[in-house]
């Protein structure tokens, strides 16, 4: 009986060494920047607000996490005035992200592989416009005092999420109005341990 108790205690002690902390991100310091290009030169960039995010950390090692962005806040930062208003409105309508129907997009980590100190390959499920796809990308984690910052650049093919406007993969004769299928999200999540 004593041996059985010792085995159980040892098991829980060993499995407890994998303790992770769920840490909420500071959404005012966390950012998501998007960058999109045309097939023939030019492009636009902007931001979308992080609504909520949490990371699973063991010390400063990344073990998991998720984040949600508020698609109703999608905005261009390289334009001003009327042109900015037109592009921002277009991004929000059904041709692009249909934010009235799909007000948020989410990402949830399903696997983390450490490749070096502070460097990881992250795999997870990203949902945009109600469509979920698995993606893998490199990420870095840095710690300064109590602050832990996770950075990643994610490249996505927008047509996989039903965003086909201006795509030469689906429409002919677009000329210099064709928009690249791939776009980038530059994600920075800031947490305090």
Residues 125-155 pLDDT 10s: 999 999 999 999 999 999 998 899 999 999 9
| pLDDT above 60 (res 123) | yes
Total number of residues shown for the chain:
193
Q: How far from chain centre, in Å, is Cα 94?
A: 21
Write the Ramachandran bin of 59: left for phi over 0, alpha for psi from -120 to 50, otherwise beta: left
Distance of CA 84 to the CA centre of its chain: 24
- Give the pTM: 0.82
Helix (H) or strand (E) holding 56: strand 43-58
Q: What is the pLDDT of residues 175-192, one digit of tens each?
A: 444 567 788 999 999 997
What string of DSSP letters covers 82-144?
A: HHHHHHHHHHHSTTTT-TTT--EEEEEEEEEEEEETTEEEEEEEEEETTEEEEEEEEEEEEEE
């Amino acid at each position: 009986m004593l041996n059985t108790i010792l085995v159980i205690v040892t098991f829980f002690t060993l499995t407890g060494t994998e303790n992770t902390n769920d840490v909420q991100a500071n959404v005012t310091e966390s950012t998501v920047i998007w960058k999109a290009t045309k097939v023939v030169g030019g492009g636009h960039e902007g931001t979308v607000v992080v609504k909520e995010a949490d990371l699973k950390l063991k010390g400063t090692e990344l073990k998991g996490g998720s984040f949600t962005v508020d698609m109703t806040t999608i905005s261009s930062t390289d334009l001003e005035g009327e042109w900015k208003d037109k592009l921002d409105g277009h991004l929000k309508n059904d041709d692009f992200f249909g934010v009235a129907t799909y007000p948020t997009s989410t990402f949830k980590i399903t696997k983390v592989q450490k490749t070096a100190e502070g460097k990881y390959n992250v795999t997870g499920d990203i949902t945009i416009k109600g469509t979920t796809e698995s993606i893998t990308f490199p990420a870095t984690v840095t710690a300064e005092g109590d602050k832990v910052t996770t950075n990643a650049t994610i490249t996505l093919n927008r047509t996989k999420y039903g965003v086909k406007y201006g795509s030469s993969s689906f429409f002919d004769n677009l000329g210099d109005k064709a928009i690249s299928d791939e776009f980038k999200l530059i994600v920075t999540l800031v947490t305090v341990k």
